[in-house]
Amino acid sequence: MRKLSDTDRVRLRIRLLLGLMLFLQGGILAFLWNLQVVQGHTFQDQISSQSLRRVRHPGHRGRILDRNGMVLADNRPSVGIALYPEELRLPGRQSRTLDRIDALLDEISEKIGMPRTLTREQVARHYQNERMLPLLAWRDLDDRTVARWAERVGPREGVDLLIEPVRFYPLNDLLAQTLGYVGRGGMADPDEGRFHFQIPEMEGKAGLELVFDGMLRGEAGAELVRIDVASYKHNVEVLVPPVPGYDVHLTLDARLQNLAERVLGTETGSIVLMDPRNGEVLALATYPRYNLNDMVPFISHTVWNTLIQDPRRPLVNRPVREHYAPGSTLKPFICLAGLLSGQVTEDTTYTCHGSYQPGPNAAPMHCNNRFGHGTLDMREAIARSCNVYMWRLAEDIGYDPMFATLEGLGAGQKTGIETDFEVAGILPTDAWKRQRHNDILRRGDIANISIGQGFLTTTPLQMALMTATLANGGTHHTPTLLRGFRRSEDEPLERPDPRPAPVAKNWDSNKVEAIREGMLGTIMGDRGTGRNARVDGLAYAAKTGTAQYGPPGNRRYRSWMIAFAPYDNPRLAAVVLIDSGLGSGIDAAPRMQLIMQALFGINRSEAPRG
């Protein structure tokens, strides 16, 4: 009895369920009747008034300026002729539409007297992939062409003038690798058809243009353009106004940058100028460079191929992206390590006979003076760049204090400057060498490191940072290129995230002073290795370095010079590096002398900063 009633209940329930389902469909039909038949005409009206075009406008891209307000990256208007493929669409096969566009391009080309720039394949590709973007058929038209356009063609369905901002670098190749360049950005988020058209947006592709892209780029706005069948714009209603991006103000000084680049000339290398009082980078020069205006609005194949096939690799921002053996410029810091370890003093002397044997069976290593420097104290060892002194010192203090001091100065770590692609260089450890060479650091390795040869490498910027820290008596400032952002002149400069606080090393000032005196001796001492780089009326401190690289017997060297000036109250820390030079005294010292002469010399042409 119960069983039967159960089955009946189940059958009833199935019928009820079906009833509910059919009821729902009925409800939908009733709704549709109302929507389609009763109210149908109101929707038809709405649609016919809907020849509104939603256009996305990118915000005005911010500029990049140097510390004195000189514009390094700007925008200029460029008039072009744009096709709006959506409007040119014909029903039926795509080839019909392409035929139409083809014919249109030929016609305009003849009337304005400019050869076609787009092939049918390019048009087809754009039509397939980026129909939302206007297709620029001609760019950068001059006034006469624009006049011919207005006279003979005029706006018509699917074609119109488009005024587009194009990035412009007034100083061409100045600071090229650091500034970087923009390219055309991709389409905005595929927010499912919110926009019919997007005005192309610039997007940072390299350098600071890329790093600060988020700040430089404004926020896109939206416009409703009412268009009739003949494609005339009736009115334009701004829905959301675009917001301009921020101007980026750099610490960099275009005049110093220009000086550095001129001094570097056509030697592959780097020059870094930094303010030791606050870590602000004033110049970041390298050669070879490229003209940034060749990179916008897009990079042609010819330009790109030339750049990447150039063996000197002009795209590389050497001061931050390359790391080299620092050579003898490391010696002051090795001596500093000795002093800080407490195992030696500035008066500790070693005697140089011209060579040194790192181990009982090891081959002897030679000093730069084959006949020996004799007995030297630390100041003199720095000024005269004695290898044997460093080797003996390193042997006495061991690697640990060297490592600790160099690490504290920033070796082996990225400095944290804002450029892209910064590298850390190498501060070797046992673990590092085991991984690379399946061995630990041996006495010979440590001896090599103590004179800046061997495994240890630094970037020019790192050397500038270490020099700055020595110059200011032991305060580590994170190097920066950025003063701040602002939208207009009357706003204060702002940094979204504050700079890392300076770190005071709390070094004993007597000890630092000894090192600084050694470097002073390089320039001012009778037998200093940099005495040829003296500048009348200026006392400054420096260290030369000539590092071997490449296969044994290579007659080319990394020619280095680090310096800070003026000696008493340093406002400048400078690094000159010639990648493939003949020796510090030949390539680096004269260049350092030119810089110091220009900035601090009696007959200087440019006023020093600060």
Partner 1 sequence: MDSLLKRFKPLLKLDWVAAGATLSLLALGVVFIYSAGYGRESDQWLKQVLFILIGLPLYLGVAMFDYRRLREMAPVLYVVGLILLAGLFFFGMSIYGAKRWYNLRVIFFQPAEIAKVAVIALLAVWFGDPLRNPRRLRSVMPPLVITLIPFALIAAQPDVGTAFILLCIYGAMLFVSGTSWRILGMFALVGVLSLPVAWTMLRPYHRDRIMVFLEPDRDPLGRGWNVRQSQMAVGSGGLHGKGFRQGTQNLLGFLPTTVAPTDFIYSVIAEEKGFVGATTMLMLYSVIFVALARSALRCPDPFGRLLIVGILAMFCAHVTINVAMTVGLMPIIGLPLPLVSYGGSFVLSTLLALGLAQSVHLRTG
CA dist., res. 247 & res. 59, Å (int): 12
44 binds partner 1 (CB under 8 A): yes
Residues 478-497 that bind partner 1 (CB under 8 A): none
The binder of partner 1 chosen from 91, 115, 360, 498 (CB under 8 A): 91
Estimate to the nearest angstrom the gap between the alpha carbon of 24 and the chain centroid.
62
Q: Where are the strands (E) in 114-175, listed by range? A: 135-138, 159-168
Shortest Å, Cβ 226 to partner 1: 14
The number of residues that bind partner 1 (CB under 8 A) is: 46
- 131 vs 556 by CB, closer to partner 1: 131
Residues 308-337 that bind partner 1 (CB under 8 A): none
CA dist., res. 393 & res. 390, Å (int): 5
Query: Which helix (H) or strand (E) element contains residue 376?
Result: strand 374-376
CA distance readout (Å), 319 to 42, 328, 402: 67, 18, 24
The binder of partner 1 chosen from 115, 190, 360, 553 (CB under 8 A): 190
Q: Which amino acid is at 525?
A: G
362 binds partner 1 (CB under 8 A): no
- The site map against partner 1 for 232-271 (x = CB under 8 A) is -------x--------------------------------
74 binds partner 1 (CB under 8 A): no
Could you tell me which stretch among 187-195, 256-264, 335-343, 594-602 binds partner 1 (CB under 8 A)? Answer: 187-195
- Give Cβ neighbours of residue 394 (< 8 Å, ≥ 6 apart): 334, 402, 446, 447, 449, 450
- 8 vs 396 by CB, closer to partner 1: 8
CA dist., res. 339 & res. 327, Å (int): 20
39 binds partner 1 (CB under 8 A): yes
Query: By C-alpha distance, which of 155, 234, 230, 193 is closest to 54?
Result: 193
CA dist., res. 533 & res. 243, Å (int): 52
Shortest Å, Cβ 213 to partner 1: 22
Residues 288-307 that bind partner 1 (CB under 8 A): none
- 45 vs 606 by CB, closer to partner 1: 45
Q: How open is the CA angle 388-389-393, to the nearest 5 degrees?
A: 115
Q: Could you tell me if 498 and 522 are in contact, meaning their C-beta atoms sit under 8 angstroms apart?
A: no
CA dist., res. 216 & res. 59, Å (int): 9
- 29 vs 150 by CB, closer to partner 1: 29
The binder of partner 1 chosen from 143, 192, 497, 536 (CB under 8 A): 192
- 13 vs 366 by CB, closer to partner 1: 13
Q: What is the DSSP letter of 502?
A: P
Q: Where are the strands (E) in 143-190, listed by range? A: 159-168, 182-184
29 binds partner 1 (CB under 8 A): yes
The binder of partner 1 chosen from 40, 113, 214, 359 (CB under 8 A): 40
Provide the token pair at 102.
């083809």
The binder of partner 1 chosen from 1, 4, 46, 501 (CB under 8 A): 46
Shortest Å, Cβ 9 to partner 1: 5
Q: Tell me whether strands 52-57 and 197-198 are parallel, antiparallel or unpaired.
A: parallel
Could you tell me which stretch among 86-94, 115-123, 273-281, 375-383 binds partner 1 (CB under 8 A)? Answer: 86-94
Start-to-end CA distance of the chain, whole Å, equals: 105
Could you tell me which stretch among 40-48, 262-270, 383-391, 599-607 binds partner 1 (CB under 8 A)? Answer: 40-48
Phi, psi of 148 (to 5 degrees): -60, -40
Helix/strand/coil percent split, the chain, to 5: 40, 20, 40
Query: By C-alpha distance, which of 114, 49, 127, 121 is closest to 88?
Result: 127
- 192 vs 568 by CB, closer to partner 1: 192
Q: What is the DSSP letter of 564?
A: E
Shortest Å, Cβ 496 to partner 1: 25
The binder of partner 1 chosen from 25, 235, 435, 488 (CB under 8 A): 25
Estimate to the nearest angstrom the gap between the alpha carbon of 604 and the chain centroid.
31
Q: Could you tell me if 208 and 180 are in contact, meaning their C-beta atoms sit under 8 angstroms apart?
A: yes
Task: Give residue for tokens 């800046």.
Answer: 452
The binder of partner 1 chosen from 47, 229, 501, 602 (CB under 8 A): 47
- The site map against partner 1 for 94-133 (x = CB under 8 A) is x---------------------------------------
Q: Could you tell me if 443 and 480 are in contact, meaning their C-beta atoms sit under 8 angstroms apart?
A: no
Other C-beta atoms within 10 Å of 607: how many? 9
Other C-beta atoms within 10 Å of 10: how many? 10
Provide the token pair at 117.
């720039």
Shortest Å, Cβ 24 to partner 1: 5
32 binds partner 1 (CB under 8 A): yes
Shortest Å, Cβ 89 to partner 1: 7
440 binds partner 1 (CB under 8 A): no
Shortest Å, Cβ 233 to partner 1: 18
Q: Could you tell me if 224 and 53 are in contact, meaning their C-beta atoms sit under 8 angstroms apart?
A: yes
Provide the token pair at 344.
């030696």
Shortest Å, Cβ 192 to partner 1: 5
230 binds partner 1 (CB under 8 A): no
Shortest Å, Cβ 588 to partner 1: 53
- The site map against partner 1 for 48-67 (x = CB under 8 A) is --x---x-------------
22 binds partner 1 (CB under 8 A): yes
Could you tell me which stretch among 192-200, 275-283, 521-529, 595-603 binds partner 1 (CB under 8 A)? Answer: 192-200
Q: Where are the strands (E) in 2-153, listed by range? A: 52-57, 64-65, 71-83, 135-138
The binder of partner 1 chosen from 70, 74, 75, 86 (CB under 8 A): 86
CA dist., res. 207 & res. 213, Å (int): 10
CA dist., res. 220 & res. 240, Å (int): 8
24 binds partner 1 (CB under 8 A): yes
Shortest Å, Cβ 292 to partner 1: 37
The binder of partner 1 chosen from 67, 93, 400, 568 (CB under 8 A): 93
13 binds partner 1 (CB under 8 A): yes
Other C-beta atoms within 10 Å of 300: how many? 10
- 25 vs 302 by CB, closer to partner 1: 25
Binding site for partner 1 (CB under 8 A): 6, 9-11, 13-18, 21-22, 24-25, 28-29, 31-33, 35-37, 39-44, 46-47, 50, 54, 86, 89, 91-94, 190-194, 196, 222, 239
